[in-house]
Homo-oligomer: A and B are copies of this chain.
Amino acid sequence: MLRWFEENGRESDVVISSRVRLARNIRDYNFSLKLTDDDARKMVNDLTAEIGKLEAVKDYSSYDFARLDDYQKMAMKECHVISDFLLGQKVAAGFVSKEEDVSIMLNEEDHIRIQAYASGMNMEKAFELADKTDDAIEQAVSYAYDEKYGYLTTCPSNVGTGMRASYMLHLPALSSNNRISGLAAEVGRFGLVMRGVYGDSSRSYGDIYQLSNQITLGISEKEIIDNLSHIANQIISQERALRRQYVINRKLSALDAVYRSYGVLRYARKMSLKDAMLLLSQVRLGLAQGLVMTDSETEFCVYQLMIGIQTANLALMNENELSEEELEEYRAKFIRDNLPVIR
């Protein structure tokens, strides 16, 4: 079975993935931020043991930060298996499903964070996976739950459903038309937040953005998803309209940009992450709009390559410590080796 980032799902011209994250805490411990290292260790051990017994996670692999080096942890983050927050924790552990679509993080901002991914626009599947995992864990541990407020969480913004749903969107046309900051302001009015996944705030490397809900309280899971999906669909429409305009009005320029990007990716001998993301974004756009095609029999997922070229993933493939130039050299080689022929 393919991992979520190895396949393209529904509306995959714009939507890379759908993600649901549930924040949960257990009754017997202080919130993670208030735990001493010793207590955190104890809690993580307890939870690892309890959850590890569950039928639902019997095929999952487990990890503990105590046995991972920095590159391994960072590579997990780059593959979206663990969060930024978890990466910063001293004591942490967790479980990951075989397909890497479900991740259970222990001692994140909350004691337990359940995260589920689905390819393309498929929040139902992501929610179902997260919900099933949540139900299973609830059999083993006692969640901190309040009848009035719902799930209790470290940060008040997560109280209630404890759920954050998000779509990862590829928005090259909106980006190049400088529409992102306006759009980010607009979605705020609907209780949503949009931010770049990679790079700096000026323009996300690779034009990859995450659209999430901010409100979790006084609203059901279904309402969160419906609201988010409604806005996502509007953004998808805008992105598609701009792409069509570009492809129709400036066909040759569009084709040229895709092929030049491909040519550089195909032949470069060193490459910065920023350059690579920019060029891959162009190729993804070209494939999505049917400007170019791969000659590989299996569907090619550009986002998989975007994950593969992140720093720690590259470093892990090589035994030795890499200098900045070596890293760029390996990145270019990784791209040459993994980019299918495009026509």
Spell out A's residues near B (CB within 8 Å). Answer: 252-253, 255-256, 259-260, 262-270, 325, 329, 332
Contacts and interface: CB of A to CB of B under 8 A. Distances in A.
Contacts of A269: 252, 255-256, 259-260
Contacts of A264: 260, 263-264
Nearest to A250: B325
12 contacts: A252-B270, A252-B325, A256-B270, A259-B268, A259-B269, A260-B268, A263-B263, A263-B264, A263-B265, A264-B264, A266-B266, A266-B267
A332 B269 CA distance: 23
A251 to B, nearest CB: 9
Say what secondary structure dominates the interface of chain A. helix
> Which of A259, A265, A266, A268 is packed against the most chain B CB atoms within 10 Å?
A259
A198 to B, nearest CB: 22
> Which of A256, A267, A332 is packed against the most chain B CB atoms within 10 Å?
A267
Question: What is the total number of copies of this protein in its complex?
Answer: 2
Contacts of A262: 263, 267
A342 to B, nearest CB: 9
A322 to B, nearest CB: 13
Contacts of A252: 269-270, 325, 329
Nearest to A261: B267
Contact of A263 (B253, B255, B256, B268): B268
A253 B270 contact: yes
Nearest to A267: B263
A325 B265 CA distance: 25
Nearest to A251: B269
Nearest to A270: B256
A340 to B, nearest CB: 14
A230 to B, nearest CB: 38
A265 B269 CA distance: 16
Nearest to A325: B252
Contacts of A270: 252-253, 256
Contact of A267 (B253, B260, B268, B325): B260
Contacts of A253: 270
